[in-house]
Amino acid sequence: MIVWDGIIIGGGLAGLVAGITAAERGKQVMLVAEGIGSLSFTSGVIDFGDFNALRDRQDHPFSHISEDQALQSVSKWQELCPFYTGSWAKGQPILTPLGEIRPAGYVPYSLSAQPLEAAREIVLIAPQGLKDFFPGLFASNLALNFPQAIVTIKPLQVDRFAQHYSLGKSILPSDYAKYWASVEGTDYLREFLMGIIGELAGMKEGLVLVFPGLSASFEPLLRDLLKSLTVSIVEPTIFPPSPVGMNLYQFLRKKFKDLGGEFLTNGKVEAAVIEEGYCPSISLQSHGKTLELKAKSFVLATGGIFGGGIQVGPRTIREGIFDCPLFIPEQWTSDGFLGPQPYTQTGIEVDAELHPLRSDGEIYLHNVYVCGRMLAHWDPWTDHCGGGVALTTGHRAGTMI
């Protein structure tokens, strides 16, 4: 049986970054993914929160990452995805799906809401039937947040979706996005946007268009189109499933495959062989057969509780593949739903090289590296460092293979 240099378990941001990093280093790697991972829920936003404060927090995943390493991961990311924008020193504003503003770290450039700060006229494009998008509420929030600008709503209809409109069926943002990325879609969009710019010719200086569900950053056709325009276009983040997140997933998966990595879909790793602190092989069920996969090292990036890597039952909590020891808080929940929740700290404690640790602090498995949401002692939603932990630890794990 061939022995892979590394097998990455989990196809979210951390796993993909680990896979790409290893493949770039000439390693023979396989990535096993159960499904699309968590990227479809985010809009490709990569946050680092208050990096130095989090780094100082004992056991926080950032405590294993130096600022230099984090910066390396970031520049690695920008090399991988040159269409990302952001700066280490300063956050930048982006729009939420409800049209409010929030600070963010690194985002696909079309998501940056910076142009709105100087806008005098904001036109909100409202594609008809776009699911989970409320133009009235969105515009009213824009007006609140950018009082210097006049906000108007410009409805948009596309022949391609005429049937949807007449049947009253809503259209997923990803369906619109896929249309915009096609040749016909881009042509249609060009004409539509030129029309608006023509109408508002006098306002050109301060005109900014807000366009939900565009996902312009990933598609060369759209990128070229936007570059050719004289006005700025800002995309808000999108209620899931987000086309930007899905495009990012596809982009990274393709990158991984192009580098020679093998991507195994529909694979749920269920067991691992463990011998004296090492794991020689893992196995998954493939329709009645057990598929055994050997590797020199493994990356565990199965997404924690949300991703299914940590299985929580009414009585038991366990990591499902290697049975890694877990940090489990004594108290499970607290009052305010969106406030700090103890259960979110559940995860695997690691050393500086991301090896899983036993409760006595010794290494549990010497050839397994843990990254992303599988790590203990953090909560992406209150620490505001979701993508940042995945990116830095995924990158780190990829260099360990």
CA distance 275 to 270: 17
Q: Which residue has the tokens 């952001």?
A: 86
Sign of the C-alpha dihedral computed for residues 130, 136, 140 and 143 taken in this order: positive
- Of 96, 114, 283, 399, the residue at the interface with other proteins (CB under 8 A) is 96
Q: How far is the CB of 314 from other proteins (least distance, A)?
A: 5
Q: How far is the CB of 295 from other proteins (least distance, A)?
A: 13
Tell me the per-residue interface mask from 105 to 134 with other proteins, x by CB under 8 A, - otherwise: ------------------------x--x-x
Could you give the angle at the alpha carbon of 327 between the alpha carbons of 42 and 322, nearest 5°?
80
- Of 308, 320, 325, 329, the residue at the interface with other proteins (CB under 8 A) is 308
Could you give the angle at the alpha carbon of 310 between the alpha carbons of 292 and 257, nearest 5°?
50
Q: How far is the CB of 271 from other proteins (least distance, A)?
A: 14
Tokens of 234: 């800002």
- Of 380, 389, 393, 397, the residue at the interface with other proteins (CB under 8 A) is 380
Nearest partner of 295 among 283, 305, 313, 287, judged by Cα: 283
Q: Which is nearer to other proteins, 32 or 350 (CB)?
A: 32
Q: Which is nearer to other proteins, 110 or 207 (CB)?
A: 110
For helices 220-228 and 183-199, what crossing angle results, to 10°?
20
Does residue 174 interact with other proteins by CB under 8 A? Answer: yes
Does residue 383 interact with other proteins by CB under 8 A? Answer: yes
Does residue 352 interact with other proteins by CB under 8 A? Answer: no
Q: Which is nearer to other proteins, 231 or 401 (CB)?
A: 401
CA distance 181 to 221: 7
- Of 51, 62, 180, 369, the residue at the interface with other proteins (CB under 8 A) is 51
Nearest partner of 380 among 19, 112, 62, 91, judged by Cα: 62
CA distance 107 to 244: 10
CA distance 61 to 351: 10
Tell me the per-residue interface mask from 182 to 201 with other proteins, x by CB under 8 A, - otherwise: xx------------------
Residues 234-293 that bind other proteins (CB under 8 A): 237, 239-241, 243, 246, 250, 253-254, 257-258, 260, 262-268, 284-289, 291
Tell me the per-residue interface mask from 53 to 72 with other proteins, x by CB under 8 A, - otherwise: xx------------------
